[in-house]
Amino acid sequence: MIHGGLFWKDEVVRMKKVFILLLLFLVGASIVIYKKREPQSLTEQLDLAALSVQPASQEVRKHVNDQINSIRHTAITEAVAKVSNAVCGINVTQIREYVTNPFLDDPFLRYFFPDRIYREAVKSLGSGFLISENGFILTNEHVISNATEIMVTLPDGSSKEAKIVGADVTTDIALLKIDGDNYPYIRFGNSDDVIIGEWVIALGNPFGLFEINAKPTVTVGVVSAVDRDFGRLESNRVYQDMIQTDAAINQGNSGGPLVNSLGEVIGMNTFIYTGSKYNTGSVGIGFAIPINRIKRVLKELKEYGEVVRTWRSGLEVDNLTPLMLRYFGVKHGVIVTNVEHDSPAERAGLEVGDIIIEVNGKKISRVQDIWQIIEESDIHGGDILKLKVYRNGTIFNTNLQLERVIRKKRH
């Protein structure tokens, strides 16, 4: 039994050794086979890779293409497609005058040889946009100022002569008209609803590129700021509540639309800030007249050909002397000397002897201060002056709505 047991144990040990050797042989053979099946060249590797890639089905390819197209077609591209056919190039022939004198620096000779005035016809370019299907076009007044001929280039390549319906230097707004019907046009938005930081699109005819291809140039940016006031400039223009944008605006863009991502016009591109008179290109600071201000002017341009700034207040005021200031116990103001019956002043609750100390939030020290506020603010009939008034030791606020003086409409 003992010998038999030893024999059995020896057989088990030998079988284990054989099994281990066999296992090692199989593993080694697998490694050799694996090594031999590795691709030996780049071509073979590429062939194997090609065999391992299955072509995408037609449905998968269509789904991928649809996804790419949906990414490309954004609110911006849709807005551009909506408005671009209503943007125009404005080509203007203007008469400019030049004053020369060869004896400019010699007062004696200038007395005998007066200045000579030369007139020259020059070409200039700008932008505009259709606002009605019957051919009304908005642009800047400075684009068509002193024009002898205005030609409008439409996105379809056609060119039409335009007539000036009305223009206003102060607001720098002009209304043109071309013959025809069924024109594409841009719908008005609400510039009071503009959000700082929202996307905006400037379209126009910079550098006369309409002459190369009758399609507007599109630039995109954001609303950088609103309510920018520049007061009355040397050109006698008043720029108020301007929309600031970093969308590139260049020479020739004046008069073009600034639209939001819904394809609504919220402003008219007007001028840029360059930081230097030697730099005339865009540095990302452009300004547009808000469309709500344009709406206000547009009606009068259609009816009268100009903006009516004639109004009535029914109020008369006079300056206060230093003695009167001390008597009333005020530091500044003007005194009301007359209030007409059934007038805006009477309806505002003003009385003779009242002292107006502020108008629209600005301190008043003399009558001229009120006129300066009116001039800088481009006040119209129907506008409201916010007054702060002193009466018998108390101060109160009231609104004086100016009464429009009715003029005959032109026929």
From the candidates 127, 191, 224, 254, give the one annotated as an active-site residue.
254
Res 4: pLDDT: 43
Res 216: pLDDT: 92
* 251: nearest Cα among 225, 278, 270: 270
Three-state DSSP at 341 gives coil
Res 201: pLDDT: 96
Q: What are phi and psi of 169, to 5 degrees?
A: -65, -40
Domains of the chain in sequence order: 81-304 (2.40.10.120), 311-404 (2.30.42.10)
Res 405: pLDDT: 78
Return the structure tokens found at 61.
């390819």
For the stretch 194-226, pLDDT in tens is 999 999 999 999 988 877 888 899 999 999 999
Q: Tokens 């400075």 map to which residue?
A: 142
From the candidates 168, 172, 354, 378, give the one annotated as an active-site residue.
172
Res 275: pLDDT: 62
DSSP 26-81: HHHHHHHHHHHHS--SHHHHHHHHHHHPPPPPHHHHHHHHHHHHHHHS-HHHHHHH
Could you confirm whether 172 is annotated as catalytic? yes
- Are the CB atoms for 174 and 141 separated by under 8 Å? yes
For the stretch 326-345, pLDDT in tens is 999 999 999 999 999 999 99
Bridge partner residues of 258 (DSSP)? 202, 267
From the candidates 84, 124, 127, 142, give the one annotated as an active-site residue.
142
User: In Å, how far from its chain's centre is CA 217?
Assistant: 14
Res 270: pLDDT: 95
Question: Residues of the chain whose pLDDT is less than 50?
Answer: 1-9, 12, 18, 27, 29-36, 46, 48, 51
Could you confirm whether 142 is annotated as catalytic? yes
Three-state DSSP at 230 gives coil
Res 9: pLDDT: 45
End-to-end CA, the chain: 139
